[in-house]
Structures are given as structure tokens and as C-alpha cells.
Structure 1
């Protein structure tokens, strides 16, 4: 529903300092969200839209909205070390080479990660100039970011038409990217079972 009119959503979030609403902004923020739900209710099944609207209305009576109140306004992320920690923890059997981020590196060294009481040592930081893999990953992340933006801002019919129009190198690159994503997914989840070197 929010993606149906991203400009309105962005304006709303900015106006109320999301995700750091002031207590006096709670009800007006929820009122505006309810307006968006009512305006775009056709994108969800009727029952789902009704439940969502009811939850937002009930939120107006709460004493606080704990996850979006009391934080600095308009600040989604203040630092990125948790993302690095998450990758290290989720992919604990992988060797991680991170682009040098001095602040993140310092935070990880101040509070070392452990697994079953043992230090986690499957990561290091490097200068991307010295690591071709980091240079390639920067390009891939850039492509994935553009792809995410495209899918967020483009309707399903237009995506299908654009996909059908791909030919030559464009089609081959899309297929290669799809194959890379599938291979990464299979590696993460060990699918099929025959790939279980990551156990």
C-alpha cells in the first residue's frame, strides 16, 4: 500500500521524523497511514485491508509506539556494525573479507564475537584496492541495488513486459544474475542436499 504512492509515503515519514516520532505525532501519523490504507485498499484482499486498518486505529489508543518513538528523528541507521555481525553469525562457516570500515572494525574489536565460548575469527577487513573480490562485490551490490529500486518502483505488468523484451547481452546478463542469486541461495540453505560442504 505504501509503495502505491512512494512520494506520499516519503513525505509522510519525513514530516513525522520516522522512525523517531514525537509522542504528539503518534495519532496524526496513524491517521495519515489510515488515509493511505483507505486510498489503496484495493491492493489487498478486503479482509486484510480491514484488519490492517483496525490495527492502525487501535494503535491510536496506545500509550506509546515503542519501536518508532523516542529515537532521533529521520535516522534509520546510525552505524553499520550490526550488519557485519549479522553476516558473520548467519554465515559462520564462511570466510568473510570486508571492505575496510575503521569504525565498524573498532567496534567489532572492542566487543569480540564468540561462538560456544570461542573467539570468532572467520573475518577480516581489507583495502578494496588490494582485493579483487571486494571490487567485484561492489559492482554486484550496485547492480542489486538498482534492481531493487526498479522492482520497488515498477508495476508487475511493466516488469513482465521489460523481461519479455530482453535480448542478446541484456538477456544473458539477466540470466547470469539470476543464476548467481540461485547459487548463493542454494549455498546458504544447502539445497540440494548434495551440496552440503557447508555443514
Structure 2
């Protein structure tokens, strides 16, 4: 089946650098395959951040250097067939951040003018944002599209702080397969949940979310993006994110690590851009150094974004205040890689998460000040 790239990745005038002939290598981390509601919560123990990305070669530097020297520098065992994060550093993010081998790896990328690219996805937030999206699609609520991110942020903040109760409420309504005769009751229950478990000190976005949910519970009988779905199935696969990245850089050549589930899901798709085929391939990482390097950077980023999601703002402030010199050096190197990559294309750095998470990440990496309402949350 042929699909136009513009259908999979809608043109956005704010994006730049997406039409160049890059060579993009990919790996992924925390692909849970499917996310489902169960009687006692979810089918997985923990919602770690899904990251799809890796390294990017630009037209000016489109040849990957030999990695044998890097293997030696990182002391990769001679019997190890490929470079992987677990051979460089293990443990939680704080421990990995202190690794001198991570310093050497990030420095090597920078010295060889290799960029990075990624999509970072908060899978729980992705699973519930259609509540606000569906309301904003209604004619009487089109105005909230101007601040829909703030509303989604508040809903996620309340839901994640009281997750077991929120998931139980969703399951009781067969979410995301909402019947028309149950839609108002679902919206009413969501409103009551936000009122009951919302922050004691309400910011304007919290107040507006309550107002919108209450109004919608009295007026809306069908949610545009939450019907005719499979009950209790929050995410049925991650193939859409692979296709989106292929379509987002239609003149690039894409090399993905072999992943049978994804390969089968998109095997029938031919992505077309201006009558030309967009080239993407699934390759064996052992034979593809670019994918091996992508394993390391994506594994590192997966640890980082999960750390950001799981760490409260105040604890983040405390942790940042006592970072070791090695940890600070690696933050500086990661910041350099992200800034350089963003300069090439602002779509290399793609975050699908909440406003609060983005603010925490910008504080930790780029020293941007955290708003008071985030610190109090």
C-alpha cells in the first residue's frame, strides 16, 4: 500500500531541516509492544519512556568512521559481537551518568560530527491525551485548542499522582471504547476525579480543566477519538512512530534495527514523497555499526527520560545540586549533542510528553528556571 509522506507526518511550518538527505540509524528502548488495562492496573509493571532514535549523518559528513578505535577506547570485550550500552555502563541513570565510558562515547560522537535524533514518548500520557483531544474537536470547544497542552498536562499530573484509582476508573468505562450512552458519565467521572484528587493549590490550567470537563459532561455525547476502539487496549503497537519518522525525513535513508513485530506491521507500506519512494531498511545490528551506536545513545536517553518522568521537581533540584564532576561533564556533552542536532533540524529532537516533563528536562540539561507551580507540584 502506497501512502504519501504528508499523510503520516503532517507538514508543520515551524520545522526546518527535514528535507535534507540524511543517513539515519535507529534503535529503540522500552517498546512494550502493547499497553492494556487490567483489573489490577496495567499489563506492565512500569511505564518507562519509549525512545526511538539514534545517530544521524549529514550530507557534509555522510560516512561513518571505523568504530574499531572506539571499541578499544571503551574496552569492549573482543568476543562481544557489537557495542551495546550494557557493555559500557549499567545501573540507574545517576550511575550511568557518572560513567567515564559514557564520557568517551559522547565525546567521540561530537569529535566526529555525528548528530543524534529521537522521538521520546511518555506512553501513559499518550494513552489518555485523547480525552482532551476529543473534547477540543467539538465545535463548541474549538477554542481550547489554543491551550490544549496545558489541559493535557494537568490531566496527566492528577492522573499519574493517583494512578491506580485513575486506571480503575478508565477500565470501568471500557476505555478507550466509550459507548455514546456512557460518554457523559465518563466525562462526569473524570471531572469528579480531577476535583477530588487535584492539587490543593489550583493553578489556572487546573481550574480551566475542571470547567471544561464539567461543561463537556453535560453537552457531549460522543468523543471523536474514543469510540470504535478495542476496550482496555491503550496502545496496540508502536509502528506508527516508525512510519512517522520515515515520513518526517522523506529524503533521508533510514536504517532500523531488526524488530519482527514492527517489520510485519509496516511491511505493506510504501512511503511516497513527490512520486519518489522513501527508503527505509531493517538491518542486523551486528553488521551495522550505526545501529550499534544508536543502541548506546537510545539506551542512555531512555534511562534519562524515565529519570525525568519519575523524579519530582524538588528531588531533581536536590540531585542537580550534588552532581559529581563526571556527571556534570556528561550532562554538558549531552547538552552539546542535542543543541548541535537541533541546529541541523529541530525535528531531530522530538518529545511527546507533558509540559512539566519538558520543563524539568530543560532545567536539568539547559539550566532553565523551573516555574514555581512546577516546583510545588
| TM class, shorter-length | 0.7 to 0.9
Q: Is 1:83 paired with 2:241?
A: yes
Alpha carbons of 1:136 and 1:17: their partners in 2 closer, same or farther (altered >3 Å)?
farther
Structure with a larger share of its residues in helix: 1
CA RMSD in angstroms comes to: 2.7
Specify the alignment match of 1:117 in structure 2: 275
Cα deviation for residue 53 of structure 1 reads 1.7
In structure 2, how many angstroms separate the alpha carbons of the residues matched to 1:70 and 1:20? 6
Task: Tell me how many residue pairs correspond in the alignment.
Answer: 188
Q: Which runs of 5+ in 2 are unaligned?
A: 1-153, 348-377
Query: Cα deviation per residue 1:15-67 (whole Å; 9 max; x = unaligned)?
Result: 43433334454334323321343242556533x33332222123223121121
Query: Cα deviation per residue 1:55-83 (whole Å; 9 max; x = unaligned)?
Result: 21232231211212221122233233321
Specify the alignment match of 1:105 in structure 2: 263
Specify the alignment match of 1:128 in structure 2: 285
Specify the alignment match of 1:52 in structure 2: 209
Specify the alignment match of 1:177 in structure 2: 334
Alpha carbons of 1:153 and 1:29: their partners in 2 closer, same or farther (altered >3 Å)?
farther
Q: TM-score, normalised by structure 2?
A: 0.44
Contact in 2 for aligned 1:98/1:126 (Cα 8 Å): yes
Contact in 1 for aligned 2:181/2:221 (Cα 8 Å): no
Asked which structure has the greater RCO (Cα within 8 Å, sep 6+), the reply is 2
Contact in 1 for aligned 2:187/2:216 (Cα 8 Å): yes
Alpha carbons of 1:25 and 1:172: their partners in 2 closer, same or farther (altered >3 Å)?
farther
Cα deviation for residue 97 of structure 1 reads 0.7
In structure 1, how many angstroms separate the alpha carbons of the residues matched to 2:266 and 2:228? 26
Specify the alignment match of 1:138 in structure 2: 295
Q: After alignment, is 58-67 or 103-112 more displaced?
A: 103-112
Q: Structure 2 residue aligned with 1:63, among 209, 218, 221?
A: 221
Q: TM-score, normalised by structure 1?
A: 0.77
Cα deviation for residue 114 of structure 1 reads 0.9
Contact in 2 for aligned 1:91/1:188 (Cα 8 Å): no
